[in-house]
A and B are shown apart, each in its own frame.
Chain A
Amino acid sequence: DVKVTQSSRYLVKRTGEKVFLECVQDMDHENMFWYRQDPGLGLRLIYFSYDVKMKEKGDIPEGYSVSREKKERFSLILESASTNQTSMYLCASSTPRDSQETQYFGPGTRLLVL
């Protein structure tokens, strides 16, 4: 059974704090993604990675960075959290298109920045 796990389901942080969100997948997938989900806006891509140490900006990368030191782990970093980063954060992973597979999502981390 495929599995994408995220380190926390709920997180409360203060403005200016550095925040780490961790995502681990056990499917040996090459691609990993970080999204944020806000009501009415759906899922918006922050960053993605197609290999270890490789990263690409998504649609809304400002205020975020990522790290992929190992294939199974993809971290999202908020260098200095702000209240407008309060959101649900979803991680996903996938294999390349050849296998015509789609993205598998983790359960999400609901982040509140005070």
Chain B
Amino acid sequence: QQPVQSPQAVILREGEDAVINCSSSKALYSVHWYRQKHGEAPVFLMILLKGGEQKGHDKISASFNEKKQQSSLYLTASQLSYSGTYFCGTESHNAGNMLTFGGGTRLMVKP
């Protein structure tokens, strides 16, 4: 079963913050986050492997709550370049690097 992402779409002005959530009905081994710009391939952002782990680079960070089977992606002081569709990919235990992707969250950052 696919993880559920929320919200499905969000519109921001430059400099505003956003949070994208990813919830799974299965116990998770890892969560992977990707961003896809229109007409391009999804690009890897980060992987979270341990419950409670938080990672980030630049002003994009993420957390992983293993108990709640959830992950959140935080975009701080958004830039125009952040626009795109964000996907979470979840990996269950013993899934052998097989990911199940959420439906995506479309983010648009306006000047």
Interface string of B29-71 (1 = CB under 8 A from A): 0001010000011111001010000000000000000000000
Q: Does A103 contact B (CB under 8 A)?
A: yes
Among residues of B, the one whose C-beta sits closest to the C-beta of A105 is: B41
User: Which residues 48-100 of B have a CB within 8 angstroms of A?
Assistant: 49, 87, 89, 96-100
How many angstroms from the CA of A110 to the CA of B62 in the assembled complex?
31
- Report how far A58 CA is from B89 CA in the complex, Å: 14
Task: For the complex formed, measure the closest distance between the CB of B20 and the CB atoms of chain A, giving whole angstroms.
Answer: 13
* A42 and B44 within 8 A (CB): no
For B47, give its contact among A35, A100, A105 (CB under 8 Å).
Answer: A100
Given the known interface contacts A31-B97, A43-B87, A45-B98, the answer about A103 and B103 at a Cβ–Cβ threshold of 8 Å is: no
Interface residues on B, range: 20 to 34
Query: Which residues of B sit under 8 angstroms from A35, Cβ to Cβ?
Result: 101
Chain A contacts for B98, CB-based, 8 A: 33, 45, 48, 58
Interface of B is mostly: loop
* CB neighbours of B96 from chain A (8 A): 50, 96-97
* A102–B32 touching, CB < 8 Å: yes
Does the CB pair B97–A42 fall under 8 Å? no
Docked CA distance A6–B42 (Å): 14
Q: Which of A33, A94, A97, A107 is close to B41, meaning CB atoms less than 8 Å apart?
A: A107
Cβ contact of A43, chosen from B8, B44, B101, cutoff 8 A: B101
Check A42–B87 contact: CB distance below 8 A: yes
A41 at the interface (CB under 8 A from B): yes
Provide 19 A-B residue pairs closer than 8 Å at the C-beta atoms, listed in order of the A residue.
A31-B97, A33-B98, A40-B8, A40-B103, A41-B103, A42-B5, A42-B87, A42-B101, A43-B87, A43-B101, A45-B100, A50-B96, A59-B100, A96-B96, A97-B96, A100-B47, A102-B44, A102-B89, A105-B34
Q: Which A residues lie at the B interface, using CB under 8 A?
A: 4, 31, 33, 35, 40-45, 48, 50, 58-59, 90, 94, 96-97, 100, 102-108
Beyond contacts A90-B42, A106-B41: 13 other A-B pairs, Cβ-Cβ < 8 A, are A31-B97, A40-B8, A42-B104, A43-B42, A43-B87, A44-B101, A50-B96, A58-B98, A96-B97, A102-B32, A102-B47, A103-B97, A105-B34
